[in-house]
Structure 1
Amino acid sequence: MNANNLDPAAQQQRKAYYDRIGKDSMTPLWEVLGALVPHQPKSPAVPHQWKYAAVRDSVMEAGRLISAEEAERRVLILENPALHGQSCITQSLYAGLQLIMPGEVAPAHRHTQSALRLVLDGEGAYTAVDGERTTMRRGDFIITPAWTWHDHGNLGNEPVVWLDGLDIPIVRFLDAGFAEKSDSAYQAVVRPEGDALARYGANMVPVDFYQQPAEPTKVFVYPWERTLASLRAIASGTPDTHFGHKQRYVNPATGRSPMPTMAAFSQLIPAGFETRPYRCTDGTVYVCLRGSAEASVAGQSFRLGENDVIVVPSWHSHQFRAGPETVLFSYSDRPVQQALGLWREQRN
């Protein structure tokens, strides 16, 4: 019987019962069962776009208001409009635009949260991970794995901006966050640039190296020029109707995601090509690195230009239509969902 059909006396009796058990920190499941066990995902997050040209001035203004040393990380969080105050772009993912000015150092620290960087704007900066630096070039996908020491510096003459993606909400949900600051602002260089890529990223690994599946990749930079060359090399074939030409980044030593909590992808959509509607349970953050495209997300339309960011929440149907040849980078929480047997997709 629907509770709305109960007579007033019965409704009052139930309310009194709920109030009474509430004093013992209990609540009736039948009042919330539909929300707890939905027929399909109903994400509270909403689709949203951040136009880089529109927000860049605000990012640069932060550089005049606070130093990288004072802020520790000078970042403007990309907060989902439906999740205000929660510092997340989906319920499980964080995103932000980080700025480092010429001559600055974002001081060394480490934390249990995994992080990725996608370089968007400017030249001359570097990221250092456990004693090895890598020069940051536009389009480079860079990882700072969980609990690795990392710092950033800008040896160039212009501001540098990159997108930060972290699993902060996942770690926060599990109450498993730890962080530590270094005594030094930056790490001593103990290996030459490119060492990790040479040791672990050339279809070879050191003879005595064995890695557990959950451990993050030793390769912490995936250069844009290699990504683009790989996509272009396969683009002569027939594009997938739902993705165009899409590749996922992997840990070369295991074939798994570079990070245990986040997956990353790059896809090339040929000029004029329109992907078919697709949805999946992993809410996804997309960045347009090259070209432009029309994105349709659950009936909403967005025009993506270079460096624009868009979020597609869980189980929201979406498709892209490229103008010129377009390259999109994306990241999501797919590894977590797959490890738990939760991930689903639907191709229309």
Structure 2
Amino acid sequence: MPDSKHPYPKNPYSRRKDEHLALATRFHGDDNGLDQVHFVHQSLPAVATDQVDIGTAFLGRHFPTPLYINAMTGGSARAKVINGQLATIAARLHLPLATGSLSAALKLPVLADSFTIVRENDPDGFILANIGADKTVADAQAAVRLLAANALQIHVNVVQETIMPEGSVTPDWLAHIQAIAAAVDVPVVVKEVGFGMSAETLAQLAAAGITTVDISGRGGTNFAEIENARRPDHAYAYLADWGLTTVQSVLESRAFPGTILASGGIRDPLQVLKALRLGASGVGVAGAVLRPLEKEGPEAAEAMLRQWLAQLPALFALVNADTITALKKQPIWYDELLLSYARQRRLVLP
């Protein structure tokens, strides 16, 4: 039975969500590849910080900053606290916020308030609901209604599902994605969960009518390691470095005809700048927010994001860009390892 400390009945969904949270701060990458991209330093300033506009647009909305808080959690008592804290931060900083997968709430409605607290704490904010690509149109519509969501994230997580003890992979995900995108009345973004997206995947999504993707590359929260840690046999340990890094994925997205959002181990404002320069319209952060939130509290997480937002205009000015459009024209150079990858994949470098 539930009690004040554990307000939900014992269930496998809450247990799994708490295991994911406990392991997320342990298994996170530190190399998303963006360190292989460099701006060419310019010694003569042409833009003042107060001339910079870091505003951007995606999912049918203009935002004053390219940052958004990406999908993390929900479905347990602990997750409810974290979601409430994240929503309060998002409301104060006017940042879009995505919840974790709503699958648990769809299967066990008593868990719904661990997600709806996001809308309670951020009543006027831009909220993205999140479901898996295995879900139905009815599931997607229910998820959007539950949060009065402004947009829907559909996550693809084939590596996680392959390793996860409870996982299941079926070859109908693309059909589900196409059907959901055609049926829901909010914008849709298809998001990886940390293994990156290839040009082939992006072409399939574009053909299915998807116009916004979050490439979520390797280098952030590592669900291969997380799910392996949840298995007593650790049977898939050799997949710990599977996937495309964030920088590889952004380069792979160059031919995608829609909007690119970038996430995956973003650890400082300079990496935000690099992701934008390579073609992203928005940049998501998750682990970088969760770690100070868990270790020092929500005030520390908010302070970190405030510092990033304060520093971004200065970094734009440093490279003589007053907008994201201008930023995308500034000269950059690449390490040989990334050049080799681009050559082998026949990618056009920005």
Question: Larger C-alpha radius of gyration, 1 or 2?
Answer: 1
Report the structure, 1 or 2, having the larger helix content.
2
Task: Please give the TM-score of this superposition, normalised by the length of structure 1.
Answer: 0.29
Report the structure, 1 or 2, having the larger strand content.
1
User: Of the two structures, which has the highest relative contact order with CA contacts closer than 8 Å and spacing of 6 or more?
Assistant: 2
